[in-house]
């Protein structure tokens, strides 16, 4: 009997971008806890699926480090790049962009804050550089909740895909035969309540 072909991955070069989820924003951002929960889930899955992770902080000297809940998931490794601090609103700064100099186009999964500022400008820069952008609606927020829907509508119009974290996880696998399926489904089941809470809080 001929060997079964390997499952076809829907994403060829997935990357996770985590934008400015910092301590000083905690009291200001609408439902930041939901953003953090979604981000933690994506990071756990990224480790299993061996997906590169890029994280930024915005003016860290003034706005503080990445929130403590994500620290253990952001320990630098061959795939988790050190946090890049910036003053530019977009994450597309030299410390991040240098990892894309090969010219290969990526599918960038984007979460963080704020939807109408740093998330929007990051997505626009990625699209302008030929990358596909997947904004997780259950993983982005702003100080004013009304900004979020406006920002997501604009990004749809600019060519970004607005999706959810669970949809992305299944799209990253593409097939129940992939080796990581059991572990990813385990994360989905374990986080089912927080996923529901994040969806209800942010959408």
86 is known as an active-site residue: yes
Considering the candidates 19, 41, 86, 132, report the single residue annotated as catalytic. Answer: 86
Query: Cα 13 vs. chain centroid, distance in angstroms?
Result: 14
Region 151-171: what's the mean pLDDT?
A: 99
- Placement of tokens 């990051």 in the chain: 122
pLDDT tens for 124-149 read: 999 999 999 999 999 999 999 999 99
Structure tokens at 22: 């910092």
Query: Does 6 map to a domain?
Result: no
Region 157-171: what's the mean pLDDT?
A: 98
Answer for the pair 22, 58: CB distance below 8 angstroms, yes or no.
Answer: yes
Query: Does 1 map to a domain?
Result: no
- pLDDT for res 1: 42
Residues paired with 113 in a beta bridge: 141
pLDDT tens for 173-203 read: 999 999 999 999 999 999 999 999 999 999 9
20 is known as an active-site residue: yes
Query: Does 122 map to a domain?
Result: yes
pLDDT tens for 74-122 read: 999 999 999 999 999 999 999 999 999 988 899 999 999 999 999 999 9
Considering the candidates 118, 125, 132, 138, report the single residue annotated as catalytic. Answer: 118
Region 4-25: what's the mean pLDDT?
A: 90
Any idea what the CATH number is for the domain that residue 69 is in?
Answer: 3.40.50.850
Query: Does 158 map to a domain?
Result: yes
Query: Does 28 map to a domain?
Result: yes
Residue 23's Cβ-count burial label (10 Å; 0-12, 13-18, 19+) is: middle
Q: How far apart are CA 23 and CA 27, in angstroms?
A: 9
Does the N-terminal peptide bond of residue 114 adopt cis geometry, omega within 30 degrees of 0? yes
Q: How far apart are CA 38 and CA 195, in angstroms?
A: 7
Considering the candidates 20, 125, 132, 138, report the single residue annotated as catalytic. Answer: 20
Query: Does 94 map to a domain?
Result: yes
Provide the number of structural domains found in the chain: 1
pLDDT tens for 17-54 read: 999 999 999 999 999 999 999 999 999 999 999 999 99
Q: How far apart are CA 32 and CA 15, in angstroms?
A: 22
Query: Does 103 map to a domain?
Result: yes
Q: Please report how many Cα atoms fall inside a 13 Å half-sphere around the Cα of residue 183, on the Cβ side.
A: 13
Domain limits for position 56: 14-202
Query: Does 5 map to a domain?
Result: no
User: How would you label 85-100 residue by residue, b for 16+ Cβ within 10 Å and e otherwise?
Assistant: bbeebbbbbeebbeeb
105 is known as an active-site residue: no
Q: Is the pLDDT of residue 3 over 80?
A: no
Structure tokens at 129: 């550089």
Phi and psi dihedrals of 144, rounded to 5? -105, 120
Residues paired with 54 in a beta bridge: 17
- pLDDT for res 9: 83
- pLDDT for res 5: 65
């Amino acid at each position: 009997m001929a060997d079964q072909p390997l499952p076809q991955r829907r994403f060829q070069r997935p990357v996770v971008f985590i934008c400015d989820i910092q301590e000083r924003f905690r009291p200001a951002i609408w439902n930041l806890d939901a953003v953090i929960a979604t981000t933690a889930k994506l990071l756990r899955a990224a480790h299993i699926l061996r997906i590169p992770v890029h994280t930024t902080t915005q003016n860290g000297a003034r706005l503080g480090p990445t929130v403590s809940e994500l620290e253990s998931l952001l320990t630098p490794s061959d795939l988790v790049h050190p946090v890049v601090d910036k003053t530019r609103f977009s994450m597309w700064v030299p410390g991040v962009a240098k990892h894309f100099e090969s010219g290969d186009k990526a599918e960038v999964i984007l979460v963080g804050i704020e939807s109408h500022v740093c998330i929007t400008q990051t997505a626009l820069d990625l699209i302008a550089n030929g990358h596909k952008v997947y904004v997780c609606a259950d993983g982005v927020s702003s100080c004013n909740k009304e900004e979020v829907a406006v920002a997501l509508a604009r990004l749809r119009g600019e060519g970004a895909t607005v999706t959810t974290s669970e949809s992305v996880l299944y799209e990253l696998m593409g097939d129940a035969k992939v080796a990581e399926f059991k572990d990813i489904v385990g994360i989905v089941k374990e986080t089912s309540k927080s996923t529901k809470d994040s969806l209800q809080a942010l959408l």
